């Protein structure tokens, strides 16, 4: 198991901060991220930043050219032997999605942290249908091992 150095940050003006801090305590974030790390890695240095809608939108616009806040953004700097990445989670988007999917906010955080960690390791669901299916299957396996229901199953 790779060693994990985790920095967990919450934006200062985060709406419903207590709700998001409760759904994403440090020990859970570390557990979820460790589960998503490739065992071939020596270590991982990951910063997780939970932001509001304005910051999420600005980052998505500036770095992806998309003018809306998205659920997770992955900034990967080094893949191996030490993974270095920043994962930015937009709290209001995650809360809306969890409510629309009728699932616990903590489960949605788990899913998006695993999703972002896989992106940081080179997984990509936007390159082809086969890649999307492979990434979805990997996420589902990891989450199942963590006791989190399949995020892609609908009702």
Residue 79 is assigned to a ligand binding site? no
Residue 115 is assigned to a ligand binding site? yes
Distance of CA 150 to the CA centre of its chain: 15
Residue 119 is assigned to a ligand binding site? yes
Task: Report in angstroms the alpha-carbon separations of 60 from 54, 74, 122.
Answer: 10, 10, 19
Cβ atoms of residues 109 and 89 within 8 Å: yes
Cα distance between residue 149 and residue 51, in whole Å = 25
Task: List residues forming the annotated binding site for Zn(2+).
Answer: 115, 119, 125
Q: Which residues are annotated as a binding site?
A: 115, 119, 125
């Amino acid at each position: 198991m790779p060693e994990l150095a985790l920095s967990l940050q919450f934006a200062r003006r985060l709406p419903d901060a207590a709700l998001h801090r409760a759904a994403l305590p440090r020990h859970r974030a570390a557990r979820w991220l460790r589960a998503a790390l490739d065992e071939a890695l020596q270590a991982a240095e990951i910063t997780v930043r939970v932001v509001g809608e304005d910051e999420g939108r600005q980052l998505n616009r500036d770095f992806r050219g998309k003018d809306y806040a998205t659920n997770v953004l992955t900034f990967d700097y080094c893949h191996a032997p030490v993974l270095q990445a920043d994962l930015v989670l937009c709290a209001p988007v995650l809360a809306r999605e969890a409510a629309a999917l009728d699932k616990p906010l903590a489960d949605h955080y788990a899913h998006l942290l695993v999703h972002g960690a896989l992106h940081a390791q080179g997984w990509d669901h936007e390159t082809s249908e086969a890649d999307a299916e492979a990434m979805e299957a990997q996420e589902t396996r990891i989450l199942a091992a963590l006791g989190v229901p399949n995020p892609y199953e609908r009702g």
